[in-house]
Structure 1
Amino acid sequence: MPSRRLFLGLPLVMAAAAARAQPATPPIFAAGAVKHAVEEVLAPLGAGAPAAAFDTVGALRDRILGGERPQFTLLSAEAIAALSARGLVPADGVVEIGRTGVALGAPAGRPVPDIATPEAFRAALLAAESIAYADPARGATAGRHVAAVIARLGLTEALAPKLRLVRFGVEGVEMASRGEVALAFSQATEIIDRPGVQLVGLLPDALQLWTIYRAAVVQDGPEARRLLALFGTEAGRAAFARIGFRPG
């Protein structure tokens, strides 16, 4: 009988152990485009700063739609709208951060190409030894747009050998900062004022995608509301402006 009780209790023990092994959902989900501003805003909180998970807009949106519940999230307006449509964001729990465009970064100190016109931009891509951008399959806003632009310019086959797909745009920018790629696409806010990287420029107007980003409460409560207020302070707005966010 004792062995039978032990056997019957084993699934409960295993379930409890599995639950303990599951990583807790961080209080903040934030897209790569806002990463550096989020880190700046949270820095004064020191050890008391809430943890943040950074990833592509699509990956974080899908985690929330799939059942994860951070207290607070910073994503594109389109993703926030998708969460709102499912009743996951309170109507009074959203603030606009601003907009950013897709840009090119390059290792600091190197000559940069002219990308002012679609023709110059196309020539720059053909001349580059290597190019990094976020994998469109992971829901990266800039990555999806870059893939579409490359196809639109008829360069899909020509550029294939030199493309380096990364999990999200920040990683491509970091590769450029280490000199591992000649060019890296990402949102401009992931490139501006980053050590070891220079902003080559925004995509030409005819090829550009402007994306509005918003901050939103997900798991409503005092802490989520404090975060919403924190990112809406003058210091919070200044942090976003410093990395290139413009009024929506």
Structure 2
Amino acid sequence: MKNLLGKLSGAALIALSALTANVQAADLHVMSSGGFTAAYKLLGPRFASATGNTLDTTLGPSMGKSPEAIPNRLERGEPADVVIMVGYALDDLIKQGKVIPGSRVELADSRIGMVVRDGAQKPDIGSIEGLKQTLLHAKSIAYSDSASGVYIERELFKRLGIEEQVGPKAKMIPRIPVASVVANGDYEVGFQQVSELLPVQGAAFVGKIPESLQSVTRYAAGIPVGAQHPKEAKALLDYLASPEAQPEVTSTGLDSVTSH
């Protein structure tokens, strides 16, 4: 525990202690979607060690038809004290009365990037034309079944004017990281939020798509209605959104949205 807390700055420790001063240790059930997972894996253990809480974490997409998707888990009645997910998907749960409206916190922004297999030549996607030519010449294209993939399938190809040419060779990949199917050679190029691409071994990060074509995904978190440990959950959310947590957040490929 001491070694882990030693990685936090003095200011971060003071802030975390203040957030959790009146909180009892609890077993928190956390549901987190892919884009914020890398940051959560860094920050969650620090919160747990500093507070005595344990974090029982379930991973799943923010939307979609798969049983693992967070809305579907909540619909089945799976217990959750915290949900971390795409902001507009969280808004839907708030509107449905499944997440407490005032509990929402803003966590980070995520941009779309591209990977190729390790050792493959990295194309230039820094310009609109460069990205367009990369897609036209790629033998196969993979994209996610979450927010970034929905944007690519429904909007990006159309905006580039290449929907008919690339549609037949592009596929949405459910549940698993897109970079993994590029790493094993099933697809030549893959697109997903940067924070979900970077952790996968065997795939090489090429870069973000041009800013003028970006679809920025906001990650947010909230406390479900019926949460067993709402006070402890709020302490976790306050910590994840705190200025002290931002170096870890940005180190995973996310962009900070803290207003402090």
TM-score bracket, shorter-length normalisation:
0.7 to 0.9
- 1:162 and 2:173 aligned: no
Residue 122 of structure 2 is matched in structure 1 by: 112
Whichever residue aligns with residue 50 of structure 1, its letter is: D
- Correspondence for 2:147: 141
Paired AA for residue 94 in structure 1? R
C-alpha distance in structure 2 between counterparts of 1:184 and 1:56, whole Å: 20
Give the whole-Å Cα distance in 2 for the aligned partners of 1:228 and 1:198: 32
TM-score w.r.t. the length of structure 1 is 0.75
Cα contact 2:107–2:221 (8 A) shared by 1: yes
In 2: Cα distance, 1:166 partner to 1:193 partner: 17
Contact 2:148 2:217 in 1 (8 A): no
**Structure of higher CA gyration radius:** 1
Change (3 A) 1:106 1:246: same
**Separation in 2, partners of 1:165, 1:84:** 27
Match of 2:212 among 178, 186, 206: 206
Moved more, 101-110 or 235-244: 235-244
- The corresponding residue for 1:62 is 71
Shift of 1:53: 2.2
Secondary structure of residue in 2 paired with 1:49: strand
Quick check: which one's helix share is greater?
1
Contact 2:105–2:238 under 8 Å retained in 1: no
Q: CA deviation at 1:143?
A: 0.8
CA distance in 2, matches of 1:173, 1:235: 30
Cα RMSD of the aligned pairs, angstroms, is: 2.8
Other-structure match for 2:187: 181
Q: Is the 8 A contact 1:41 1:235 kept in 2?
A: no
Contact 1:58 1:79 in 2 (8 A): no
Q: Work out whether 1:73 is the aligned partner of 2:83.
A: yes
Please say if residues 35 and 54 of structure 1, whose CA atoms lie closer than 8 Å, have aligned partners that are also in contact. no
Q: Displacement of 1:31 after TM fit?
A: 1.7
Q: CA deviation at 1:194?
A: 3.8
Shift of 1:187: 0.7
**Structure 1 counterpart of 2:57, one-letter code:** A
User: Structure 1: any 5+ residue segments left out of the alignment?
Assistant: 1-25
Distance of 2:111 and 2:161 partners within structure 1: 22
1:195 to 181, 201, 205: 201
Q: Secondary structure at the match of 1:29?
A: strand
Alignment partner, residue 221 of structure 1: 230
Instruction: Report the residue type matching 2:127 in the other structure.
Output: T
Provide the rounded CA distance (Å) in 1 between the counterparts of 2:93 and 2:220.
12
Q: Residue 130 of structure 1 contacts residue 181 of structure 1 at CA under 8 Å; is this kept in 2?
A: yes
State which of 79, 92, 95 in structure 2 corresponds to 1:82: 92
Give the whole-Å Cα distance in 2 for the aligned partners of 1:79 and 1:206: 24
Once the two structures are TM-superposed, the CA of residue 245 in structure 1 deviates from its matched residue by: 1.5
Equivalent pair of 1:100/1:210 in contact (CA under 8 Å): yes
1:198-234 Cα deviation digits (max 9, x unpaired): 2212122232111211121112524423432442456
Tell me how far 1:108 sits from its aligned partner: 2.6
Question: What residue is the counterpart of 2:249 in the other structure?
Answer: 240
The equivalent of 2:23 in structure 1 is none
When residues 239 and 174 of structure 1 are mapped into structure 2, their CA distance, relative to the original with a 3 A threshold, is farther
Match of 2:3 in 1: none
Task: Give the unaligned 5+ runs of structure 2.
Answer: 1-27
Q: What amino acid does structure 2 have at the position aligned with 1:130?
A: S
Look up the match of 1:121: 131
Equivalent pairs, count:
218
In the alignment, the residues of structure 1 paired with residue 180 and residue 232 of structure 2 have an alpha-carbon distance, to the nearest angstrom, of 32
Pair 1:153 & 2:160 matched? yes
2:252 aligned partner, one-letter code: I
